[in-house]
Structures are given as C-alpha cells and as structure tokens.
Amino acid sequence: MKFDYKRYGKILRPVIPIKVRSGDNAVRYEVLVDSGADICIFAWWHRRYTRH
C-alpha cells in the first residue's frame, strides 16, 4: 500500500483522511498510518462530535 506523507515538524509521516459519521453529524480527521500498531485508539473527546 502507498500512503501520502505529511510533514509534522521535521518528520514526514504517512497519513490518510477519514470521516467519522453518526447520523447527521460528521467530522474529518487526518490519521497516522501505523501498520505495526496492535490497536487503534481515538481520544474520549471524539465522542462529542458524534453525540455518542
């Protein structure tokens, strides 16, 4: 797989755009691709944007 890279400070990181949707509510994010990660975690405050 190939990903776009975005510069964060002096480091290039692979990121993908996502949209989290719940009903009529949606929010877009750029998320870091970490193919070696064991789990995926969104911070607790993401819930307020989807009302769940």
Q: What is the pTM of this model?
A: 0.55
Residue-number span of the structural domain to which 16 is assigned: 4-50
Quick: pLDDT tens for 25-51: 888 888 888 777 777 666 665 566 555
| Structural domain total, the chain | 1
Give 18's contacts (C-beta < 8 A, 6+ positions apart).
28, 29, 30, 31
Burial-class residue 9 by CB neighbours within 10 Å (0-12, 13-18, 19+): exposed
